[in-house]
Amino acid sequence: MKKGIHEFEGTPGELIARLELAQQEDRKAERRGGVFGCGGALLFFLGVGLLGLSTDISWLAWPGAFCLVGAVVCIPLFFRADSQDLEDLRYLEPLRLLRVLRTDLPADRPLRLKIDFRDYPWREFQVTRTPEGGGRTRLTYRQPWLDFQGRLADGARFCLEVVRKAERLESYKTRRGKTRRRWRDKVQDRIFLQLQVPGLDLGNLVANLSPGLPSGMTGRDMKIQGNMVRMVVETPQARRTMNQKLGPEDLASGDRLLALLLWVYQGVGRLRASAGQPG
């Protein structure tokens, strides 16, 4: 599976199987990338060394040349494996969400899941680019990377969308004739939740919600119209450097998405009880 946008549609069991398959393919791509990358580097240095020794021992020229050819062959194989090496959290967190939510989903009703497996620093997602002088540039990105739609067992329809926002400060410094590139990011996920509950007026939903959003989220907006509620929340801003990777605790993890959906749905349950409707 290559990096890019992938759309899945099927029952909960089918989607879980597809994501598990993506995990297996990703592990294979990681191993292939390591083999071809290390193998190519080893063959290159070995070939250069053998060719250097061939000035004194002529028969070493042929093994040296074969090693360099092998190194060249490894280059496209490495890049092919790298193009299939996915960011783990892009499939692990939706997979975790599906596994937990599965008990509340009809086993035979299809769901829709769209995931963008690319990282956000692509020109396609770049919003602004502002030179700041001194070899520094500030860039901002906006990437919708997750869209999950379906229906719960009681007929309520939901839609979860996650948009990643990032601000990058990039700098170039030249010392002793060498130019070094450095960057640090501020990253935040914005979560959009839409829930529609047929046959129930959600006008008093806010009064039935537990005080405060689930831990790790701040509210941006909430709108209620008839039997539908739309809300927007944000995760805390996480910092990322060249040598640092973001973890599930930093952004929109499967647990956070589940906690938000559960928080709203518990309020719906209280509203139903007050209206005398079965849960």
Question: pLDDT, tens digit, for every residue of 27-75?
Answer: 998 899 899 899 889 988 888 888 888 777 777 788 888 888 888 888 8
**How many separate helices (H) and strands (E) can be counted in the chain?**
5, 9
Domain total of the chain: 2
Please indicate, yes or no, if residue 31 is contained in any of the structural domains. yes
Contact 223, 194 (CB under 8 A): no
Residue 123 and residue 60 in one domain:
no
Please indicate, yes or no, if residue 103 is contained in any of the structural domains. no
Q: For residue 165, what are its two tokens? A: 């926002």
Please indicate, yes or no, if residue 226 is contained in any of the structural domains. yes
113 bridge partner residues: 8, 148
Backbone dihedral region for residue 177 (phi beyond 0: left; psi -120 to 50: alpha; all else: beta): left
**Structural domain span for residue 126:** 113-275
Sorting pLDDT into bands at 50, 70 and 90, what band is 278? low
Contact 145, 36 (CB under 8 A): no
186-202 core/surface letters (b: 16 or more CB in 10 A; e: else): ebbbbbbbebbbeebeb
| pLDDT at 142 exceeding the cut of 90 | yes
| pLDDT at 199 exceeding the cut of 80 | yes
Question: pLDDT, tens digit, for every residue of 85-141?
Answer: 888 888 999 999 999 999 999 999 999 999 999 888 888 999 999 988 878 899 999
Residue 78 and residue 119 in one domain:
no
Residue 78 and residue 121 in one domain:
no
Between CA 67 and CA 4 the distance in angstroms is 34
131 bridge partner residues: 137
